[in-house]
Structure 1
């Protein structure tokens, strides 16, 4: 049995196209793999606080030296890391906001990129500790950002997400982008159709 962590990060609720597409992927996956377990987290309904000075101090204190207060500060982060590590696959829906990601998902990244848990510092070098995990990002974008498009090179979203998760050791990272959703009905339908085609292809080969 495989455990899949499904996270939605759009604040828009059911109107969100990234949520809708991720739900379609998960539904199709469950038809093919009914024995798999799905862990679901909604960052709209359960937002993650941004890190504080106290949180950072606790994180960078060796575990054996942490005070009970520090351990309490990191308790929620530890639970998120445990949840992330327990899943062998992750389906993460992340809309593009201002060419990057919603602040709520950035907070999630901050809570799981943890020294001693998901990465280590060995002889002054960083080493990712997360192995054997597959991640699929499903995104929704208002415009086009691919090669030859008018906004080629403006996409900060995919590089930021790819780097953050590669940093902690994840090597199998894939993206399905729904592009052009704010460029009129024809472009929107084309962007959604292209994304759904890729979902159908990936769900049988992932």
Structure 2
């Protein structure tokens, strides 16, 4: 089994979402001791944003790309290859201003490519990334689960469904900025979510 852990916290290893993602990976390793784990820290190694130059490179036929364009596309190709090689994704998702971090959105932009991770058909969009299990490690300062303020989960369900993934599992650590007791409760709830997923 190949596990790809994506950490999106700007605080890197000290991030709460990283802590929860690490707990999920540790639980996966108990179940699969021979698993290979690849780690991509999006804050430690920021990916370039999708800008005019990147779009120009992507829409230029491969044989016509300049060396700079080819190098830019190769950066996205590497992320897509990582995604395709994984059997399981574990994604740390902190909540910043009710949304996902820009680091994670940049990764999503990089792996979303027509004809590679999705395609349009006469019947509509078809996701081309299949057969992978996804765990999301959600960390929030407040408590937003199942409320209108939780814009993350609907977006993540929609996006990952768009590229073909439907086995999506959510672990919630909430109330982490509401005092020590609330934080302890939030991490306990995340631990309970993990145990329920692996029961």
Q: Unaligned regions of 5+ residues in structure 1, if any?
A: none
In the alignment, what sits opposite 1:197? 192
In the alignment, what sits opposite 1:39? 38
What does residue range 39-58 of structure 1 map to in structure 2 within 5 Å? 39-58=38-57
Q: Deviations over 1:138-188 (max 9, x none)?
A: 0100111134xxxx2011111112211111111111111111111112211
Distance (Å, rounded) in 2 between the aligned partners of 1:94 and 1:6: 11
In the alignment, what sits opposite 1:176? 171
SS at match of 1:74: helix
In the alignment, what sits opposite 2:161? 166
Say whether the 8 Å CA contact 2:12–2:41 is kept in structure 1: no
Say whether the 8 Å CA contact 1:59–1:115 is kept in structure 2: no
Deviates more, 1:170-179 or 1:27-36: 27-36
SS at match of 2:191: helix
Deviates more, 1:12-21 or 1:112-121: 12-21
In the alignment, what sits opposite 1:84? 83
SS at match of 1:144: coil
Q: Unaligned regions of 5+ residues in structure 2, if any?
A: none
Say whether the 8 Å CA contact 2:98–2:149 is kept in structure 1: yes
RMSD: 1.8
Say whether the 8 Å CA contact 1:60–1:115 is kept in structure 2: no
In the alignment, what sits opposite 1:22? 21
Q: Are 1:154 and 2:174 counterparts?
A: no
Q: Would the alpha carbon gap of residues 69 and 16 (structure 1) be closer, same or farther in structure 2, given more than 3 Å must change?
A: closer
Number of residue pairs the alignment of both structures matches: 199
SS at match of 2:98: coil
